Amino acid sequence: MVPAMPSKPYLLYYWPSIQGRGEFVRLLLEDAGAPYVDVARQPPAEGGGVAAMLKLLEGAAPGALAPFGPPFLRHGNLVLAQTALILHWLAPRHGLVPKAEAARLHAHQLQLTVTDFLVEVHDTHHPIASSKYYQEQQPEAKRRAAEFLANRLPKYLGYFERVLRANGGKFLVGRGHSYVDGSLFQLVEGLRYAFPKAFRALEPKVPRTLALADRVAARPRLAAYLASGRRVPFNEHGLFRRYPELDAG
Amino acid sequence: MVPAMPSKPYLLYYWPSIQGRGEFVRLLLEDAGAPYVDVARQPPAEGGGVAAMLKLLEGAAPGALAPFGPPFLRHGNLVLAQTALILHWLAPRHGLVPKAEAARLHAHQLQLTVTDFLVEVHDTHHPIASSKYYQEQQPEAKRRAAEFLANRLPKYLGYFERVLRANGGKFLVGRGHSYVDGSLFQLVEGLRYAFPKAFRALEPKVPRTLALADRVAARPRLAAYLASGRRVPFNEHGLFRRYPELDAG
């Protein structure tokens, strides 16, 4: 029932040195075993590099809507931006979401909630301006991160845990693995990296989420990807950053 | 070519005293002339009120995915949350987006960019925590708002103006009015209310956006809505707030 693989590889455009939002797309493509080129990570001599990405951002693709920012995906004439929309478009092509319309809408709704959550994760270290260094907004970051850990993190994780429970405990949507399960895995990975103490304290409240993350990590193609050099390590340039002064005490 | 009106009214759930994110859904429904009930604005004795909304948020709709937060829309068994997704689902039912898949995807992509922008608008007055009063985060708000007005506002408005220009100047997507044009109108209204000085200074750079907003406001059903008591006035509890100390000097 899975559609045939596309004959041409997808072209993914994202910052080459971070996981960030692009990682949610990489995870889907890896899980699908779909051929793709991570354009900005290719040598400039072969048409890659950040410059190739920025060129498309400025609207160099004739007839296509210019994206506001990365990640974006190119396939034939289609250029698609916004992480959640890219996943919504890709998943049915690779059997990574149920076919029923209501289930597809629900998966997209959950992914958009992940999107909202990611903004809040990012703003723990950048509460004033993305264009400034963390060190230029550290007092504000401490205040925002404390609020995030006290209120927002338990609220979001509790929500996903409740959705899992209401759906039988194993999958967020439908009766099998879908791309939003992959996204919840990535949230767990990121939170464990960025806020190890706060996350550990919450673990007893989200057993289904933790079990889901373990199952996702064991999917053969994803396990191979996670162990490979294609997985960029977490670092202090991305969305999830480990600044011990922002973690729980 | 417009599908028949639904026999039952849509049920819209949103905070009754603000425009907020729910207003983007109200604008689409009003523009479509679609029957809807703004549930939380109805009397509790008739099943309305905020309590009715909060009950559904806690998952009281059997079989449906519980939303993370308002706005959400109920139609038969379907309960749909996330503003951009609600619009993406509603628009083709009412001829408010082109039928071609690529155009629908592009409209959704633009609406998701509106969503991102709204978070940044909100965070100008709440950079630390939604759960705290503005007065408890005023120094941080001043710093964030200054950054927003200097960098983010021109970047987003410049983007939409560029998309308009690349598409012939009159519509964001396709060859006629679509719901994203309605959303851009609402951004203009909100920004004019919240940041009158900063917006006026930017006006010369976004002539197509201003002309679009005028055309949208003159659409007969929208003009009637805007003049009616159904349009909640902007106020200092919503997304767009007029705090003169946050506006340009």
Give yes or no for A136 touching B (CB within 8 A): no
| pLDDT surpasses 50 at A2 | no
Dump the DSSP string for B172-238.
SSTTS--HHHHHHHHHHHHHHHH-HHHHHHHGGG-HHHHHHHHHHHTSHHHHHHHTSTTSPPP-TTS
Q: Are B129 and A119 inside 8 Å of each other by CB?
A: no
Give A236→chain B minimum CA distance, Å. 21
| pLDDT surpasses 60 at B5 | no
Q: What would the two tokens of residue B64 be?
A: 């449906």
For B176-210, write each residue's pLDDT tens digit.
Answer: 999 999 999 999 999 999 999 999 999 999 999 99
Q: How far is CA A184 from the centre of its chain?
A: 9
Q: What angle do the packed helices A22-32 and A83-90 form, to 10 degrees?
A: 10
Quick one: which of A144, A142, A238, A227 has its CA closest to A190? A238
Residues of B in contact with A132 (CB under 8 A): 147
Mean pLDDT of chain A: 95
Nearest to A82 among B67, B112, B119 (CB): B112
Question: What is d(CA A29, CA B47) in angstroms, rounded to the nearest whole number?
Answer: 46
Residues of A in contact with B108 (CB under 8 A): 82, 85
Q: Are B65 and A163 inside 8 Å of each other by CB?
A: yes
- Give me the helices (H) in chain B, please: 22-32, 50-57, 83-90, 101-125, 138-147, 153-166, 179-194, 196-202, 207-217, 220-226
Quick one: which of B225, B227, B246, B165 has its CA closest to B25? B225
Mean pLDDT of chain B: 95
Residue B174 main-chain phi, psi, to 5 deg: 65, -155
Q: How far is CA A20 from the centre of its chain?
A: 7
Mutate: best of B79, B110, B112, partner A, most A CBs <10 A: B112
Q: Read off the pLDDT of each residue in A126-139 and give the average, rounded to a whole number.
A: 97
Q: How many CA atoms lie within 13 A of A5 on its CB side?
A: 11
> ∠ CA B59-B65-B67 to the nearest 5 degrees?
70
Question: What is d(CA B160, CA B113) in angstroms, rounded to the nearest whole number?
Answer: 9
| pLDDT surpasses 90 at A183 | yes
Strand partners, B82: none
- For A160, nearest residue in chain B (alpha carbons): B68
Q: What would the two tokens of residue B244 be?
A: 């003169």
Quick one: which of B197, B203, B166, B190 has its CA closest to B239? B190
Q: How many CB atoms are closer than 10 A to CB B62? A: 6
pTM of the full predicted structure? Answer: 0.96
| DSSP 8-state secondary structure symbol assigned to residue A5 | P
Q: Are A65 and B109 inside 8 Å of each other by CB?
A: yes
pLDDT at residue A59 in the model: 74
| pLDDT surpasses 60 at B4 | no
Give B241→chain A minimum CA distance, Å. 18
Q: Which of residues 140-159 of B touch A (CB under 8 A)?
A: 140, 143-144, 147, 151, 156, 159
For A16-67, write each residue's pLDDT tens digit.
Answer: 999 999 999 999 999 999 999 999 999 999 999 999 999 988 876 777 789 9
Q: What would the two tokens of residue B150 be?
A: 């200097």
Q: How many CA atoms lie within 13 A of A171 on its CB side?
A: 13
Question: What is d(CA B37, CA A47) in angstroms, rounded to the nearest whole number?
Answer: 53
- For A102, nearest residue in chain B (alpha carbons): B78
Instruction: Kindly provide the b/e burial profile for residues B77-97, where b requires at least 16 CB atoms within 10 angstroms of the residue's own CB.
Output: ebbbbbbbbbbbbbbbbbebb
Sign of the dihedral defined by the CA atoms of residues A212, A215, A219, A225, in that order: positive
Answer whether A198's CB lies under 8 Å from A248's CB.
Answer: yes
Residue B97 main-chain phi, psi, to 5 deg: -160, 150
